A and B are shown apart, each in its own frame.
Chain A
Amino acid sequence: MNPSADRLRERFPQAFVRAEVVWGETTVFVQPGAVLDVVRYLHDDEAERYDYLSDVTAVEYRDLELPLQVVWHLRSLPHRRFLRLKAELPKGAPLVVPSVFPIYAGADWLERECYDMFGIRFDGHPDLRRILMWEQYQEGYPLRKDFPLRGRFSRSEQLRQALAAQPESRYSMHELTIADAFEDLPQDMRQRLARGERTGE
């Protein structure tokens, strides 16, 4: 059992649901609403230091009564630990969990993919759009169990909608420009770039 599980149980008695160990990997179930607090603690606390979010995904079981599970794979490079965090979303209720984008910027595309494939909304994500399917895709969320393998529409209708799309329109100007990344660069690199020097060598 990952020692982080016991500390989560003590620190978040309301949000902690249960913990289990499968094949030496610890999974902690928490309440969906508390995910942001839990992840912030796991990221910031000196004893935890989970500084790497390796995946955000979801699981839906064939059994209709079982809830959807949203899964976060957290890795602590300083302490060499791996923790799987899960939140269960009952069917019927809106599928919403907090976004961990404020903590991990790398959650951006992971959460977009999870939204695209499962229809789970990540509250607080700055740009929650489809990422694998095109934005005008109308057939639903492909990895949900009620989604037919071949899609909902006929093949000709799928082709018609796909061909009607403009390939260029899929990218926002924000994605097409790298100028915004300038602000995120270190101060010395910005100064060198401002002087016209080359960097990175």
Chain B
Amino acid sequence: MGLTTQPERRQVTVSPGQGEGWITTRLDFLVNWGRANSLWPMPFGTACCAIEFMATAASKYDLARFGMERMSFSPRQADVLICAGRVPFKLAPVLRRIWQQMLQPKWAISMGACASSGGMFDNYAVVQGIDTIIPVDVYVPGCPPRPEGLIYGIMMLQEKVKRERLSDERLRDEMEPDPQSHLYIPPSAIDELSEPFGNSVHQTRSGL
């Protein structure tokens, strides 16, 4: 993992027989290494993606290999929110509340087509992508994604965590929603992004 590699071009005298081994590394490398390999997920499962998520956590795919075996059903002890499934508008304030209850540092994975974009539920009741409610780090496509897909997304998140620098203070800023619109991003952006595409244009109005 690079943790025990010794710095190059530097003369170091080590006497192994004396039991005085020592390690040198960057602090944020060490912190990120620890964080990335002990991400505690907050499972926010609302639909069939949660079934695949359970399969991912179960013995065959064994999410514990990546340090995530500890499901944190309290958001206050969680590191990564995994939103698995569609989110209706009625659930939107709940998801926002859970995200705000999580402590920094925190990350979010949007698992599946519905959580990422609303999926096929382009209707009056379903949020068109949870990135309109909370900031999302990794999107996992699929309907639902296979466990391999989710694990790949989680490993992408681990890569992202490992690249963070402690000196970058923006990473730890808690976002405050706009008091008028309760949103993190401009309402016009949401309207533009959630315009219907393809055949769903014809479904917007029933003509009656």
Which A residues are closer than 8 A to B by beta carbons? Answer: 62, 64, 132-134, 139, 142, 145-151, 154-167
Interface size on B, residues (CB 8 A): 30
8 Å CB contact of A149 from B127, B183, B191, B204? B204
Complex formed: what's the CA distance from A122 to B133 in Å? 36
Which residues in A have their C-beta under 8 angstroms from that of B133? 159, 163
Q: Which residues of chain B are near A156, meaning CB under 8 Å?
A: 181, 183, 187-188, 190-191
Asked if B206 and A159 make an inter-chain contact with CB atoms under 8 angstroms apart, the answer reads: no
**Cβ of B127: which chain A residues have Cβ within 8 Å of it?**
159, 162
For B177, the chain A residues whose CB sits under 8 A away are 163
Complex interface: chain A residues within 8 A of B181 (CB): 156, 159-160
CA distance A148 to B188 in the complex (A): 21
Seed contacts A145-B208, A159-B132, A159-B181; 12 additional CB < 8 Å A-B pairs:
A62-B208, A64-B208, A150-B204, A151-B124, A151-B125, A154-B187, A160-B182, A162-B92, A163-B96, A165-B90, A167-B93, A167-B97
Q: A64-B208, A148-B124 are in contact. Are A160 and B183 (CB under 8 A)?
A: yes
Q: Which residues of B contact A163 (CB under 8 A)?
A: 92-93, 96, 133, 177, 182-183
CA distance A150 to B196 in the complex (A): 9
Secondary structure type dominating chain A contacts:
loop
Once the chains bind, are A146 and B206 in contact (CB under 8 Å)? yes
Q: Please, how many angstroms separate the alpha-carbon atoms of A49 and B135 in the complex? A: 57
In the complex, which residue of chain A has the Cβ closest to the Cβ of B89? A162
* CB contact under 8 A between A146 and B208, given known A155-B128, A156-B190, A159-B132: yes
| Residue B37 CB within 8 A of the other chain | no
How far in angstroms is the closest Cβ of chain B from A152?
Answer: 8
18 residue pairs from A and B, CB less than 8 Å apart: A134-B89, A149-B122, A150-B124, A150-B204, A155-B190, A155-B191, A155-B194, A156-B181, A156-B188, A158-B89, A159-B92, A159-B183, A159-B187, A160-B183, A162-B92, A162-B127, A163-B183, A166-B93
B residues apposed to A, CB below 8 Å: 89-90, 92-94, 96-97, 122-125, 127-128, 132-133, 177, 181-183, 187-188, 190-191, 194, 196, 203-206, 208
For A160, the chain B residues whose CB sits under 8 A away are: 181-183, 187
Distance between Cα atoms of A134 and B91 in the complex (Å):
10
In the assembled complex, the Cα of A142 lies from the Cα of B126 at a distance in Å of: 13
Ranked nearest first, the 7 interchain pairs of A and B with the lowest CB-CB distance are: A156-B187, A151-B124, A163-B182, A162-B89, A155-B194, A156-B190, A162-B92
Docked-complex contact A147 and B93, CB < 8 angstroms: no
Known: A149-B123, A164-B182. A159 touches B205 (CB 8 A): no
